[in-house]
A and B are shown apart, each in its own frame.
Chain A
Amino acid sequence: MKNKIPAFLLSKPSHAQSFHERGKLRVSSIEKGMKYVSEMITKGFIHVGQETVRGFFQNLDPRLKVLFLVFFVVIVSLKRDIVPEVMIALFMSLMVALSRIDFVRFYGKIVGLTFFFGFLVAFPAAFNVITPGEMIIPVMTLSQAYDFWIYHIPREIGLTRQGIEGVVMLCLRVMNSLTISLLVIHTTPFHKIIKALKVFRVPDTFLLIITLSYKYIFVFAKTVENMYLARKSRLVGMVKNDEARMWIAGRIVFIFRKTMARYDEVFSAMVARGFCEEVKISSFGASNRMDRFSGSFFLLAGIVFLWM
């Protein structure tokens, strides 16, 4: 073999080049985006339901948690006053604390999402242009009032009490709904949540498809991440956005072909293990005393919130 080795491989690469001489490299936005999306998916997949600490919610039957989620989200949507929403928020924070979830990280996520999907969306409604009422914070005064089509813009524009209450109410609803959802998601492995949906009589086939799809998203994200690293290890300069776009398009074709092949293999594996067009997913065992006690407690708390 030795005589087949090309001469350039037998020569040593030069290391004389100084690396303090030239400027900084910018990473293309497409590359950054691809990296962060795949990291986010894999991170999410690994964090969700994989809490190593054993707290209150982690020990509950997943079916109870799914019922809790639906029951309390409905209550949050039905309430029309700020006080019960605040009480629900306090109750949920107690549940988070009892479940020994990292409080700062958990509420950091919720506050961020509430800001974008609650506050920013609803904030314009706090002005008297949209919500008329008792003005408490004047912002600006126009020379005159304007009317066009169905809109009336008053001379004095500002925040109204009714408008602010509406914004606070919406933010609280978003925050509470997110807290309830994330509390369940963070304390229950995904496949158990899916299986728990059986309490709503969702067909097994449908549940299996969701489970496999979710797993495939993770495998897909890992593949994308590794391909990104493989490419990065052979790149020595910045990649232009159009080159990155071409590469991504090429990779999509590759992943599509690979996926098709993988589907065939997975189906063969299922057939080999006795699959004959009827899916059966294992069920949970009977609920224990702790689940029954917690279920009653949640029911009672829910009735109190509804009554408030």
Chain B
Amino acid sequence: MEPIIRIDNVSYSYYEKIPALSCVNIGLSEGEKFAVIGSNGSGKSTLLKVMNGLLYPPSGKVYFRGEEVTEESLKNRAFLRLFRSSVGYVFQDSDVHLFCPSVFDELMFGPLQLGLSSDEAHERTKGVLEMLEITHLQDRASYMLSGGEKKRVAIGSILTMNPGVLLLDEPMSGLDPKTRSFLIELMIFLNEAGKTLVIATHDLSLINELQCRVAVLSEDHRVEKIGTADEILQDEDLLLKVNLIHEHMHYHGNQAHIHIHSHYLIHRHDKNHEHGEGG
């Protein structure tokens, strides 16, 4: 089956100076869960912006349903409409994502842009507000929301457009455990409803919970490996190499230990890494 989004040999540098992506090749199938993982500055957000037609790579090509996504092709009204209504992007920084006077306007913005009637846009907005449990915030300005509330509104503003592909940039950053599990559940249900999910994260527990296909970006901005969540999470050497896990020393009672450490997933003491007596 033809990938819904295909990235062919894409390289990108900011201001022709700061490399962000180097010869990246990725194909996304419709309806799959896909995660891009890598350490800070590896190019995850840039890759999502390229997939969303917000940045245009000087070398390499991006395709959406077989059609090349370029600055020129996105000037075609019909393609732009199809592309923007099909691919939604939730920014990492909710402050830049939210630009309307109130939460309600924020959720209405997308459907109205798509040319939906005011009634239908209203209906969608109400439904999403209820689903995300933010109905009580609908008249509030975005700068008067907490971090978790902003994230919900940002996701809601994309969901009212009902895109087939959801690009989520660090969706769990700075969220409390309750909001986090709420969003994971939401992502699973949306995927079951046929939505393609693309998540940029360095949160290994998230890819374990979602069991998605994973592309690992290295610090030199290349795709180091693509595989299932289990294949990637069990490859300790790879995770160490791309700085997603590290050696870590801490105390258990009076005993100091050094072991390979990931904040969520790998936390074992089975490799004779005992360090010595602690205070």
Residue positions of A touching B, CB distance < 8 A: 1-2, 4-13, 15, 17-27, 42-43, 46-47, 50, 223, 226-227, 229-237, 247, 250-251, 254, 257-258
Contacts and interface: CB of A to CB of B under 8 A. Distances in A.
Contacts of B109: 234
Interface of B: 14-15, 17-18, 49, 52, 54, 65, 67, 74-82, 84-86, 88-89, 91, 93, 95-97, 99, 101, 109-110, 113-115, 123-124, 127-128, 130-131, 143, 157-159, 161-164, 182, 185-186, 189-190, 193-194
A167 to B, nearest CB: 35
A231 B99 contact: yes
Given A231-B99, A236-B114, A254-B143, A25 B75 contact: yes
Contacts of B124: 6, 8
Given A6-B124, A13-B163, A19-B67, A251 B99 contact: yes
Contact of B15 (A22, A43, A227, A229): A43
Contacts of A235: 84, 113
A46 B16 CA distance: 10
A13 B85 contact: yes
12 contacts: A8-B162, A9-B193, A11-B162, A13-B163, A19-B82, A25-B76, A226-B91, A229-B49, A229-B91, A235-B113, A236-B85, A258-B143
A252 to B, nearest CB: 12
Contacts of A229: 49, 54, 91, 96
Contacts of B159: 9
A258 B94 CA distance: 13
Given A10-B193, A24-B75, A237-B113, A227 B96 contact: yes
A236 B84 contact: yes
Contact of A247 (B80, B99, B158): B99
Contact of A230 (B86, B96, B127, B162): B96
Among A9, A20, A22, A250: residue with most chain B CB under 10 A: A9
Nearest to A254: B143
A1 B114 contact: no
Given A231-B99, A235-B84, A236-B113, A42 B127 contact: no
A25 B164 contact: no
Contacts of A247: 99
B157 A234 contact: yes
